[in-house]
Chains A and B, each alone.
Chain A
Amino acid sequence: EAGVAQSPRYKIIEKRQSVAFWCNPISGHATLYWYQQILGQGPKLLIQFQNNGVVDDSQLPKDRFSAERLKGVDSTLKIQPAKLEDSAVYLCASSLGTSGRRETQYFGPGTRLLVL
């Protein structure tokens, strides 16, 4: 079974530029998550989708971050404009069902973003 796919793996941009990350979850997984992992910290949830609807985006900085999950499959996360403090690894995860907190999440390899 193929895992969660993410691209690109690495990205370097200047501050105030825009950047987009792509995620393809495990086939058939209904729930998709985007996390931000700053160096030395645990992952922090940015947004959670169930199918193509948003369940939780309370931690998403909406003035600069946006995300969508069209057709309930792939998802993109965008940052516009980027700030230095956005330097982090962006992890995508998916889970099979919609049972919330009991679901096991499966993570992709992440996209490492460096903002200069």
Chain B
Amino acid sequence: AQSVAQPEDQVNVAEGNPLTVKCTYSVSGNPYLFWYVQYPNRGLQFLLKYITGDNLVKGSYGFEAEFNKSQTSFHLKKPSALVSDSALYFCAVSETGANNLFFGTGTRLTVIP
């Protein structure tokens, strides 16, 4: 069965510093991996996805994520955090044979001015 873990409920980072939001997964077969962001009272917004190919995926708003098969991880990164990046971030995975996504419990990112 597929599962995804976001080990940190809360991440705090100073504005201008690099940020990392962690995600690890467990699936059968090849994973498809997604990152979504949720702002208050709004739905989830798509940031990026890994399907195949280059392990470094670039997405919206300057975010990127690196697929690491040996560590079964897909951490979200940004070189320089903005206060407007403060939000709830969800990692999601889909395994071979699945039709849909399984979401993690989310990580709340706070960027401190």
Cβ A41 vs Cβ B105 within 8 A: yes
Within the complex, the shortest CB–CB distance from B79 to chain A, in Å, comes to 24
Cβ B49 vs Cβ A104 within 8 A: yes
Cβ A101 vs Cβ B105 within 8 A: no
> Interface size for chain B: under 10, 10 to 19, 20 to 34, or 35 or more residues?
20 to 34
**Residue with the greatest number of chain A CB neighbours at <10 A, chosen from B34, B49, B101, B105:** B101
Q: From B43, B103, B104, give the contact of A109 (CB < 8 A).
A: B43
Within the complex, the shortest CB–CB distance from B38 to chain A, in Å, comes to 8
Within the complex, the shortest CB–CB distance from B96 to chain A, in Å, comes to 8
Q: Given A44-B103, A56-B100, A101-B32, A106 and B51 touching (CB < 8 A)? A: no
Cβ B32 vs Cβ A102 within 8 A: yes
Which chain A residue shows the least CB distance to B43? A107
Cβ A91 vs Cβ B44 within 8 A: yes
Cβ A109 vs Cβ B41 within 8 A: yes
Q: Given A55-B99, A56-B100, A107-B43, A40 and B105 touching (CB < 8 A)? A: yes
Residues in B with CB closer than 8 Å to A108 are 43
Q: How far is B101's CA from A55's CA once the two chains are assembled, in angstroms?
A: 13
Residues in A with CB closer than 8 Å to B100 are 33, 45, 48, 56, 100-101
For the complex, count residues of A whose C-beta is within 8 A of B. 23
Cβ B106 vs Cβ A101 within 8 A: no
Q: From A40, A45, A110, give the contact of B101 (CB < 8 A).
A: A45
Q: How far is B32's CA from A108's CA once the two chains are assembled, in angstroms?
A: 22
Cβ A4 vs Cβ B43 within 8 A: yes
Residue A76 CB within 8 A of the other chain: no
Residue A61 CB within 8 A of the other chain: no
Q: From B32, B94, B104, give the contact of A42 (CB < 8 A).
A: B104
Further pairs besides A104-B34, A107-B43, A107-B44: 16, Cβ < 8 Å? A4-B43, A40-B106, A41-B106, A42-B103, A42-B106, A43-B103, A48-B99, A56-B99, A93-B43, A100-B98, A101-B98, A101-B99, A101-B100, A101-B101, A102-B51, A104-B49
Interfacial residues, chain A to chain B (CB-CB below 8 A): 4, 33, 40-45, 48, 55-56, 91, 93, 100-102, 104-110
